[in-house]
Structure 1
């Protein structure tokens, strides 16, 4: 091996060692940031109780227990909550929050959740949009919307249902609908401050018949606008408001 190849090899090994050292230092020195959702401690546990509202508009709700297999598989400081909401006219929606701890891998790409439950994502793509919030002030909540489909069988008959899946990410004073943006913000904040942002992954899901996706999404938008201020601490920039027309004086 000539000198140039030896130099490249030694340099590469040095860079790998330095990178490993930096990552090891950050892992031991980093501090965990505050969550962007309301929580309370759970006695004897590293997990937190995430406080979703019981009542939203004319919806009542019930808590959905977290699967024990998921609790055993995920990091012990990852927190979960899920509630099933039903309106007076029978509309159903599910609100779910996953809050990471010191292990940043506890939140993965959202598409995995749907596929893991047997849903096929139509078109394979997400649509980014916003939902206008009025509390604590007017701002636009960035969200991703996925439309999925699934075939069910009942009494020898097959039928297809559509799923409207809306999600976003929230940390202390930070909001995004983009998984990559969340990862970038988390990395940059860790490098600058030594604080690991504690991100929560929030999802809202409803099932409907084919052709009713947009009407279902409109109902979900109203539900999200009413429920989110009850459990989320972070908010986005103030929304621009249109100027009111001036009335001519007499």
Structure 2
């Protein structure tokens, strides 16, 4: 039974990459982040030359760095929206390691309660990491909390495999390829501040997500 399922999934994946499909312009996000969220003020974030060079030419970026009014908290909020080239959408582990972060082996999915536009739970994957020796350069090592999820035209998931399955399904059975968004929220902190920071991140997302995400799952 498992072998049959694997064969079906493999076939869908291969066909999804080879059949002729129509590129749908519809996205599940709005590529415009607000200048202010709660007591945080946002400024434009940068896109690295490496991202521009390696990701698809039709990839879109929207990024802002948000600073709390008291200057104690900084959040990095980012949306990467794919075009025809799906290399734009990928899990962040490899990138974070390349930036000098040592990732914890354990990850978990959190469900953040949302109230707008209706009550639902937003599923996000949480990564935690510590600065490497090279990045810290002799000072006290900081910690990183990283939340991310993927948004399609009518689906929200914290799992890359779910996104890939849905993408292949739409390609094979409907002949369509939809744009997917990869949303991330990151915060850097001193050791021991992870729980307090996570609470702030959840409150931040409760206010921010309804401003740019057009998909709000219906829960039974």
Q: TM-score, normalised by structure 1?
A: 0.77
Could you tell me how far 1:176 is from its partner in structure 2? 0.2
Does structure 1 conserve the Cα–Cα contact (< 8 Å) formed by 2:16 and 2:169? Answer: no
> What are the residue-to-residue correspondences of 1:55-66 with 2, within 5 Å?
55-66=36-47
Listed as ranges, the gaps of 5+ residues in structure 2 are 1-12
Q: Which residue of 2 aligns with 1:71?
A: 52
Which of 94, 98, 101 is the matching residue for 1:112?
Answer: 94
> Could you list the runs of 5+ residues in structure 1 that have no partner in the other structure?
1-18, 39-49, 241-250
Aligned residues: 206
Residue in structure 2 matching 1:80, options 61, 65, 69: 61
Deviation at 1:70, TM superposition (A): 1.9
Between 174-183 and 65-74, the greater mean CA deviation after superposition = 65-74
State how far apart, in whole Å, the 2-side matches of 1:106 and 1:153 are. 29
Name which of structure 1's ranges 137-146 and 184-193 shifts more when overlaid on structure 2. Answer: 184-193
Contact kept? 1:82, 1:96, Cα under 8 Å: yes
Deviation of 1:164 after TM superposition, in Å, equals 0.5
Q: Is the 8 A contact 1:139 1:236 kept in 2?
A: yes
Kindly provide the CA deviation profile for residues 125-166 of structure 1, in whole angstroms up to 9, marking residues without a partner as x. 321111111111111000000110004546xx4211110000
Distance 2:85 2:136 in 1: 39
1:54 aligns with 2:54: no
User: How big is the alpha-carbon RMSD for the aligned residues of Structure 1 and Structure 2?
Assistant: 2.1
Does the CA-based 8 Å contact 2:19-2:172 persist in structure 1?
Answer: no
Comparing 61-70 with 193-202, greater Cα deviation is found at 61-70
Give the Cα–Cα distance (whole angstroms) in 1 for the partners of residues 19 and 191 of structure 2: 52
Query: Any residues of structure 2 matched to 1:185-196 within 5 Å, and which?
Result: 185-196=166-177
**Residue 197 of structure 1: aligned partner:** 178
Distance of 2:81 and 2:108 partners within structure 1:
23
Which of the numbers 174, 178, 186 marks the counterpart of 2:159? 178
Pick from 25, 31, 36 the counterpart of residue 23 of structure 2.
31
Residue 22 of structure 1 deviates from its aligned partner by 8.2
- TM superposition outliers: structure 1 runs of 4+ over 4 Å: 19-24, 151-154
